[in-house]
Amino acid sequence: MFRRIIKLPESRSYFLFGARGTGKSTLLRTRFGKTTCLWLDLLNIALEDQLAKQPDDLARMIEGHRFETTSQKWVVIDEVQKVPRLLDVVHRMIEQHHQDNLCFALTGSSARKLRHGLANLLAGRAFVRSLFPLTWQELAGSFNLPDLLQFGSLPDVVSLNSPEDKKEYLRSYALTYLKEEIWAEHIVRKLNPFRKFLEVAAQTDTEPVNYAAIGRDVGVDQKTVQSYYQILEDTLLGFLLEPYARSVRKRQSQRPKFYFFDAGVSRALSNQLTTGLAESTYGYGRAFERFIIIESIRAASYLRNDFRFSYLKTKDNAEIDLIIDRPGLPVALVEIKSTRNVGQQHAATLIKMLPAFPTAEAFVLSRDTTPKRYGPVWALPWQQGLTELGLTS
């Protein structure tokens, strides 16, 4: 059992969103295991069918449940997106029973079907939290960087010992997700173009998104490709890293990068699970960069520190891997290098770009275990660097 870093509200209703297999149900069963909470699992087909036909049965179930005489009475609805109409009942119950300490923990692997109901609940009635695959801190003594770069950190993958078992799980995950999450819920009308898109998107994971080129490869128009990326974000399969710009107009004129939520899933979708990751190769460097960026975004979400992330690429192709706007702290410019021996050359881009960011701090994060300083740039072991950036708990 891994200790999760996420902090869940103790006395307020909340949504817990996360892709399939990130451990939402396990986390809540750990939290509520010794209480008499009312647990409703909408993966139970009979229960889903009942509540889809009669959403008001939820209120009757709550009224008839024997809660402990504690300060909080919790109702857990697992995979609530399967019956979005339940949110109207939840809304009403929160309003009617706010003095009775009735709270809801609502899990979901897709926010797409909850948009209308979610808008009502978020007006101060339910907080939102996101759960991700395991972080390096959560893995603790089980952390293995080469394994994580190749197979990701979904809890079930980490629990498997054999590389072949990990590969089979990830292949099955990719196929099951297509069937159960995308197709079964009619998120896309035609599955084949979307299946092709997923493979192309995974192959270009971490690179600037070229909607037109991807559309040509997949056989759909540019707007459809943009809608596909929106589906990936809505179903929590990934996120866009926007280009840095001081104005919204400039930001919109450049290409964002897309990152799948887990390295193993990305490699499964791009059919790369059987391809090794050799050190000192472009593929390894790309995988390590993705690892640091994903870990940073997961940590910021858990810490609730309102950090904003972007990247910068200039007209002459100078690039800063990660720019972090940190409220109350200097902007951080971060270069990510997979090398074990950082030198002056690895800080050159940051030194060149720093005059445009006079109050910024600059860091090179790498696998080098010795902290170094190159003028205004700190070159730190990646674990120490994440701590200096305010991205560890």
pLDDT tens string 88-121: 899 889 888 777 889 999 999 876 666 655 555 5
Q: Is residue 175 in a domain?
A: yes
| pLDDT (0 to 100) of residue 175 | 84
The answer to whether residues 367 and 339 touch, using CB atoms and an 8 Å cutoff, is yes
Pairing of strands 361-366, 372-374: unpaired
| pLDDT (0 to 100) of residue 309 | 97
Residues of the chain with pLDDT under 50: none
- Exposure string over 98-130, b if 16+ CB within 10 A, otherwise e: eeeebbbbbbbbbbbbbeebbeebeeebbeebb
| pLDDT (0 to 100) of residue 88 | 87
| pLDDT (0 to 100) of residue 72 | 85
Question: Which pair of tokens denotes residue 84?
Answer: 């979005």
pLDDT tens string 83-95: 988 988 998 898 8
Whether residues 76 and 100 share a domain: the answer is yes
Whether residues 190 and 105 share a domain: the answer is no
| pLDDT (0 to 100) of residue 36 | 84
| pLDDT (0 to 100) of residue 244 | 93
| pLDDT (0 to 100) of residue 176 | 81
Question: How many degrees, rounded to 5, is the angle at CA 387 between CA 386 and CA 390?
Answer: 90
Whether residues 143 and 125 share a domain: the answer is no
Q: Is residue 32 in a domain?
A: yes
Cα separation, 330 vs 223, in Å, equals: 37
Q: Is residue 87 in a domain?
A: yes
| pLDDT (0 to 100) of residue 269 | 93
The answer to whether residues 321 and 311 touch, using CB atoms and an 8 Å cutoff, is yes
**How many domains, the chain?**
3
pTM higher than the cut 0.75: yes
Domain limits for position 180 = 136-231+264-269
